[in-house]
Amino acid sequence: MGFLHAGHLSLVRKSKEICDITVVSIFINPTQFAAGEDLDKYPRDVERDSNLLINEGVDYLFLPSSGEIYPDNFQTYVSVEHITKKLEGKFRPSHFRGVTTVVNILFNSVMPDYAFFGQKDAQQAAVIRQMVCDLKIPVEIIVCPIIREADGLAMSSRNVYLLDKERNDALVLHNSLQAGMQKIMQGEKRVHAILSEMSQRINKVGSAQLDYVQIVEADTFEFIDELEPGNNYYILIACKIGKTRLIDNELIKVQ
């Protein structure tokens, strides 16, 4: 959606590594914001973003207007069921319908062979993969690793909202993920025990308001009670720090 950072640029570099032509779309999609969210104040700087993309050697920048994406009398939306009803979908009920609709429109406009998404929005990537599979859209979805600041904070355009103290408090997301990973590597398989440790860490931070901390199967996003050796799982967090809502996750294979 713009206001690019190193995480976005890592997707560009992966595209240039794999593809002959790289197209970047920037569109702040109104249908994925609910009332009271930050659509109006979401950071924007098209000139800055354009210069960054030129420096990366992007071939095309697609900057559609809202009217191009959603013309008058627009009535058709794409909705993926089940996987969108939990986690982000529970706290932002209309969010994924907006995401899948606009991504489908962008796919139809650009017709890419590959599309690159960041792991930070892991559930979004899983939802898009489900849509692509179900609707038989001929595009391969590639999920690229989270890019972090030196102190571990996951890069996000919304990090600019954080006040100085909140910026430090926000490290609790990464730190609690690391604590959860550590318990798993020490042999803990009970999900409730792992999540309890993580929640306690987050709740000690005064500015933090936890939406969820959860572990899901990486492919299906199904909840589980106990980890099984050899399987891949996402450990996921969504938390407000002050007024800024942040998400983060780690992908782990249980030994």
Sheet (strand 244-253) strand order: 208-217, 232-241, 244-253
62-107: pLDDT as tens digits: 999 999 999 999 999 999 999 999 999 999 999 999 999 999 999 9
pLDDT of residue 157: 94
Give the start-to-end residue ranges of the domains of the chain: 6-144, 157-253
Q: Is the pLDDT of residue 38 over 90?
A: no
- Cβ–Cβ under 8 Å, residues 36 and 187: no
- Cβ–Cβ under 8 Å, residues 124 and 96: yes
Cα distance between residue 218 and residue 180, in whole Å: 16
Domain 157-253: CATH superfamily, name plus number: Pantoate-beta-alanine ligase, C-terminal domain (3.30.1300.10)
Residue 13 φ then ψ, to 5°: -65, -40
82 noted as active-site residue: no
Q: Which of 31-40, 84-93, 186-195 has the lowest mean pLDDT?
A: 31-40
Domain 6-144: CATH superfamily, name plus number: HUPs (3.40.50.620)
The single residue of 8, 82, 174, 192 carrying the catalytic annotation is: 8
Cα distance between residue 48 and residue 155, in whole Å: 17
193-246: pLDDT as tens digits: 999 999 999 999 999 999 999 999 999 999 999 999 999 999 999 999 999 999
164: left (phi over 0), alpha (psi -120 to 50) or beta: alpha
**Would you give the DSSP letter of residue 192?**
H
- Structure tokens given for 176: 């609690």
Q: What is the mean pLDDT of residues 116-128?
A: 98
